[in-house]
Amino acid sequence: MKSKPSTTPRRSQGAAPKVVKTKRTRTRPTSAAAPRPARTQGPRRSSRLRAWGRHHRAMALDSLQRLVRTPLGNLLTMLAIAIALVLPAALWLTLDSARLLDAELEESATMTLYLDHGVSVAEAGRIDEALHANAGVISTRLIDPEEGMAEFQRSLGLEDALTGLEENPLPASIVVRPRSVEPTSMEQLAAELGELAGVEEARLDLAWVERLRHLAELGRRVALALGALFGLGVLLVVGNTIRLAVESRRREIEVVMLIGATHAFVRRPFLYSGAWYGLGGGLLAMGLLTLGNHWLSLPVAALAASYGASFSLPALDFLGSTILLSCSTLLGWLGAWLAVSRHLASIRPR
C-alpha cells in the first residue's frame, strides 16, 4: 500500500468508466511494486480497432475452415437453404417479367368512342379534331365504318360471312389514347367524352387490364408471403445448425467466458459461420435457378411460339443476384445471431 501516494497523480482521469477505473487502480501497484514491462493501460482506440479487425478476419477464416473440414454435412445445410430460397426467387422473377408485360399493356391502354349512326364522315373528322384540344388526350385514330367492318371481320376470321349484309351496322369510331392510364382518371375521361355531341358511347375496356393487375398483385403477395415463410425456414435451418455448433464448443465457450471474453467475442465465429451458410445457400440457389431456366426454356419458348409470341424465361441479372446473395447471407447471419444469443444466456461458466 505504500506505493499509493506516488502513483495517485496518474490516476486523475476524470469520469472514466467504472471498469476502466477499477482496472487502473488494480494494475498500478503491482507494476510499481516490481519493475515489469508496463501493462497495456487500456489499449488506445486505434489499436483496439485493429485488434477488432484482426479478430474479425481470423474468425471469418476460422469459420470457413471449419465449414470446409466437414464438407458434406455443410453442403446439405446449404442445399436446404438454397431450396428454401429458390421458390420465392423464381416466383419473384416471374412477377418481374409480368411487370414488364404490364407496362406494355399500359402502353396500349386506350378507349373507344362510338359515334352516333347518323354522324357523317366530315362530322366525325370535326369531333376528332375537337378531341385533340382535350388535355387528357394524347392521340386519336379515326376509324370509319368500312374500316371498322374490315377489322371486325379480320379479327373474327369471317371474311365472307358478313359481306352479305345490306347495310354496315357499325358506326364510325375514334380510338383515344389517354394521357393517364390510371383506372379512375380514365373512367373520368370516358364519362366526359361520352357526353360530347355526336358520341354515342365511350367504351373503356379495362376489365382485362384490371384482372391482370389483380393477378399480379395476388402473385406479389404470394411471393412476399412465401418469401417471409421460406426466409423463416432459412433462419430455422441456420439456427439449428449453429445451435449444434455452439453445443459442440460449449466447453471452449465456458473457458473463454471465464477468462474475460465478451459475448461479442464468443458470438463472432458463429455469426461468420451463419453468414457463410447463407452465402453458400444463395450461390446454390442461383445455380438451381440457372439450371431450372435451362430445363424449362425450350418448352416455354415452343409454347410461346405456338401462340405467335416470343417469350423467354427471365434470368437473374446482376442486381437480382446481388439482392439474392445479400438476403441469403443476411438471413444466415441473423439465424446464427438468434441461435447464439439464445444459447449464450444458458451457458454459464462453471
Partner 1 sequence: MIAFEHVGKRYGGRFEALANLDFRIERGEMVFLTGHSGAGKSSLLRLIMRLETPSRGRVLVAGHDIAKLHAGQVPFYRRQIGVVFQDHQLLFDRNIFHNVSLPLEIQGVEPREAARRVRAALDKVGLLHREKALPIELSGGEQQRVGIARAVVNKPAMLLADEPTGNLDPQLSADIMGLFEDFNRIGTTVMIASHDLALIARLRHRILRLRDGRLVADEGAA
**Exactly one of 109, 261, 304, 323 binds partner 1 (CB under 8 A); which one?**
261
In degrees and rounded to multiples of 5, residue 282 shows phi and psi of -65, -45
Sort strands 111-115 and 173-178 into parallel, antiparallel or unpaired. antiparallel
Q: What mask of x and - would describe binding to partner 1 in positions 100 to 139, judged by CB under 8 A?
A: ----------------------------------------
How many CB atoms lie under 10 A from the CB of residue 52? 13
Dist CA 207 CA 215 (whole Å):
12
Q: Does 11 contact partner 1 by CB under 8 A?
A: no
User: Considering only 23-31, 120-128, 186-194, 211-219, which stretch makes contact with partner 1 by CB under 8 A?
Assistant: 23-31
Please answer whether residues 334 and 233 qualify as being in contact, where contact means their C-beta atoms are separated by less than 8 angstroms.
no
Q: Does 30 contact partner 1 by CB under 8 A?
A: yes
In degrees and rounded to multiples of 5, residue 168 shows phi and psi of -70, 115
First-last CA distance in the chain: 33
**Exactly one of 54, 99, 141, 250 binds partner 1 (CB under 8 A); which one?**
54
Q: Which is nearer to partner 1, 45 or 306 (CB)?
A: 45
Q: What mask of x and - would describe binding to partner 1 in positions 213 to 252, judged by CB under 8 A?
A: --------------------------------------xx
Q: What is the DSSP string of 3-51?
A: THHHHGGGG--SS--HHHHHHHHHHHHHHHHS--PPP-SS--HHHHHHH
Q: Which is nearer to partner 1, 30 or 139 (CB)?
A: 30
Q: What is the residue whose three cell numbers read 476502466?
A: 20
Q: Looking at the DSSP assignment, which residues form a beta bridge with residue 199?
A: 115
**Exactly one of 118, 157, 260, 308 binds partner 1 (CB under 8 A); which one?**
260
Residues numbered 291 to 350 that lie near partner 1 (CB under 8 A) are 348-349
Q: State in angstroms the smallest separation of the CB of 66 from partner 1.
A: 11
Q: Which is nearer to partner 1, 85 or 343 (CB)?
A: 343
Q: Which is nearer to partner 1, 132 or 263 (CB)?
A: 263
Dist CA 235 CA 15 (whole Å):
43
Q: State in angstroms the smallest separation of the CB of 7 from partner 1.
A: 12
Q: What is the residue whose three cell numbers read 443476411?
A: 330
# residues contacting partner 1 (CB under 8 A): 43
Q: CA dist 33 to 28, 37, 224, Å? A: 9, 12, 67
Q: CA dist 167 to 39, 118, 123, 148, Å? A: 108, 13, 20, 13
Q: Does 50 contact partner 1 by CB under 8 A?
A: yes
Sort strands 137-143 and 111-115 into parallel, antiparallel or unpaired. unpaired
Q: Does 265 contact partner 1 by CB under 8 A?
A: yes
**Exactly one of 256, 304, 330, 338 binds partner 1 (CB under 8 A); which one?**
256
User: Considering only 52-60, 147-155, 195-203, 305-313, which stretch makes contact with partner 1 by CB under 8 A?
Assistant: 52-60
Q: State in angstroms the smallest separation of the CB of 74 from partner 1.
A: 19
Q: State in angstroms the smallest separation of the CB of 337 from partner 1.
A: 17
Q: What is the DSSP string of 221-286?
A: HHHHHHHHHHHHHHHHHHHHHHHHHHHHTHHHHHHHHHTT--HHHHHHHHHHHHHHHHHHHHHHHH
User: Considering only 47-55, 118-126, 149-157, 173-181, which stretch makes contact with partner 1 by CB under 8 A?
Assistant: 47-55
Reduced to 3 states (helix: H, G, I; strand: E, B; else coil), residue 143 is strand
Please answer whether residues 85 and 230 qualify as being in contact, where contact means their C-beta atoms are separated by less than 8 angstroms.
yes
Q: Does 156 contact partner 1 by CB under 8 A?
A: no
Please answer whether residues 178 and 136 qualify as being in contact, where contact means their C-beta atoms are separated by less than 8 angstroms.
yes
Q: State in angstroms the smallest separation of the CB of 334 from partner 1.
A: 22
Nearest C-alpha neighbor of 81 from the set 313, 332, 337: 332
**Exactly one of 22, 120, 180, 341 binds partner 1 (CB under 8 A); which one?**
22
Q: What is the contact surface with partner 1 in residues (CB under 8 A)?
A: 1, 17-23, 25-27, 29-34, 36, 39-40, 43, 47-48, 50-52, 54-55, 251-252, 254-263, 265, 348-349
